[in-house]
Structure 1
């Protein structure tokens, strides 16, 4: 059974970084980081976005955030989402926020695939420590080592992290990921990509859904995956499963164009 890496109980709550109490992160009711990771540095990943429904995302353009389809309720006008940019500390007074005005979810989205969506912002975002992340348009970068980042739980069932964390995970082949010792055929080999360690210990987790998996490309970082699902967090033989951006790149670009981004 697929276990999304989002916080379903938070989807209707739309708790934002701007409304968080300055109390310690462990006291916050939101339980949205990367298991086995380290704290990122300010400006290291300027494209990282925190979404108020308990998901992550990447800034695709100054007006669009790329996230997971299961993080949103569908396509249409939506002014309820708050996106936070430009910080590693969600309680920083330097954070920049924008409200959404429209959501586009992949037309083929269902509970077993096409797990991507675009959130259009009410106004363009810019500023210090804010930048965009290009998506890969081919399978060239779909192997090797990837970087994952987010504010989700640092352990399975754990609490939201106040500070952005990061980690490195290796590619896992479709054959291995779909083997009986891992996901036994549950992974859509054409549309999903796996990454993680056989021994476990490093992974995305609840609250990281929608965030990017990325690596070095020909001229900078490129996004190759979107945090989607997995069995628990950082368990042995249960790597993270990510939406394979290369497969959907043309559709994502077309949707972005239609949204003015």
Structure 2
């Protein structure tokens, strides 16, 4: 579900079965028959860091695998949105290497979430500091072909060309430098198994993605001021189009917003909230990951059993 903020009922947190973003820059707008509004099906394995957080076998949120050791090719840590686990994480599992949730493959690995630590200053009413670190009961092994690396994708989809399978199934995403800022108009990609249209009832079984540009903070702040919602520049970033049409939606919450960097794809945002899905003038809001790097590393050192 998209979290309903106490500030404005229309605000939806994209976790807990609902998220609000999609990946891949495409030319056409619409396709409301697909999840992630205005998006396309991701190439299998092209987002090898994404995980499906599930409860009782049903997808509720997205998440991202991160590297916890420079020498170990496995991880028991996932980053997601705080609102995905704020009400508890009983029987929540994380599935990596998935594409079609209804058709599991041998590449999929599922682990149980044994601990969830959300940011101590997370505010469920304003969605400020919407980030959490999850500890899994067993480490998920990475593909050996990417030893020591992060953010490696074998072919993230950029258009509506014929689908081609990627080669990497489980790879950690790169983390940004502490305090790093993404330049205005930088194209980012968001992916998830969430709703394909505002007000829809079914999430997508197939991983979808959509491309969205990072927006100037002042423009985002001005847009949300009309909704009486404050956008904190340090903790949040906005991405989308002024005319709307492409966005994350319920069920995408907690999932990754990535930007291609020199070393690989970097986790610049975590799907957090929005007013509706893909509405004109109301872009998706993401947790700015670079604002939390010291805290993330502290949690990894405390929680991870991988050494």
Measured against the shorter chain, the TM-score band is: 0.7 to 0.9
Give the alignment's TM-score, normalised by structure 1: 0.85
Distance across 2 between alignment mates of 1:241 and 1:74: 21
Distance across 2 between alignment mates of 1:74 and 1:107: 14
193, 196, 207: which one pairs with 1:164? 207
Contact 2:37 2:196 in 1 (8 A): yes
Give the alignment's TM-score, normalised by structure 2: 0.72
Give 1:93 deviation, angstroms.
2.7
Q: Does 1:243 align with 2:287?
A: yes
Distance across 1 between alignment mates of 2:76 and 2:194: 24
The residue that corresponds to 1:56 in the other structure is: 62
Distance across 1 between alignment mates of 2:230 and 2:287: 13
Secondary structure of the residue aligned to 2:12 is coil
Secondary structure of the residue aligned to 2:113 is strand
1:173-188 pair list within 5 angstroms: 173-179=216-222, 181-184=223-226, 186-188=230-232
The residue that corresponds to 1:47 in the other structure is: 49
Distance across 2 between alignment mates of 1:106 and 1:74: 14
Distance across 2 between alignment mates of 1:41 and 1:195: 22
Q: Which consecutive segments of 4 or more residues in structure 1 shift more than 2 A? A: 6-9, 138-141, 181-185
Q: Does 1:92 align with 2:111?
A: no
Secondary structure of the residue aligned to 2:65 is strand
Q: Does 1:119 align with 2:134?
A: yes
Give 1:114 deviation, angstroms.
0.8
1:1-261 pair list within 5 angstroms: 1=8, 2-7=11-16, 33-53=35-55, 54-61=60-67, 62-73=75-86, 80-94=91-105, 95-111=108-124, 112=126, 113-126=128-141, 129-140=169-180, 142-143=182-183, 144-158=186-200, 159-179=202-222, 181-184=223-226, 186-260=230-304
Give 1:8 deviation, angstroms.
6.7
Encode CA deviations 1:211-251: one digit per residue, 9 max, x unaligned.
01011112111000000000000000010000001111111
The residue that corresponds to 1:21 in the other structure is: none
Secondary structure of the residue aligned to 1:230 is strand
**Greater RCO, 1 or 2 (C-alpha within 8 Å, sep 6+):** 2
- Cα RMSD of the aligned pairs, angstroms, is 2.0
Give 1:178 deviation, angstroms.
1.0
Q: Which runs of 5+ in 1 are unaligned?
A: 10-25, 27-32
Contact 2:189 2:209 in 1 (8 A): yes
Distance across 2 between alignment mates of 1:205 and 1:51: 16
Contact 2:247 2:284 in 1 (8 A): yes
Encode CA deviations 1:115-166: one digit per residue, 9 max, x unaligned.
1001111001126611111211145452211000000001112211010001
Distance across 1 between alignment mates of 2:47 and 2:258: 10
Distance across 2 between alignment mates of 1:49 and 1:93: 13
Change (3 A) 1:140 1:105: closer
Contact 1:183 1:238 in 2 (8 A): no
Distance across 2 between alignment mates of 1:5 and 1:246: 19
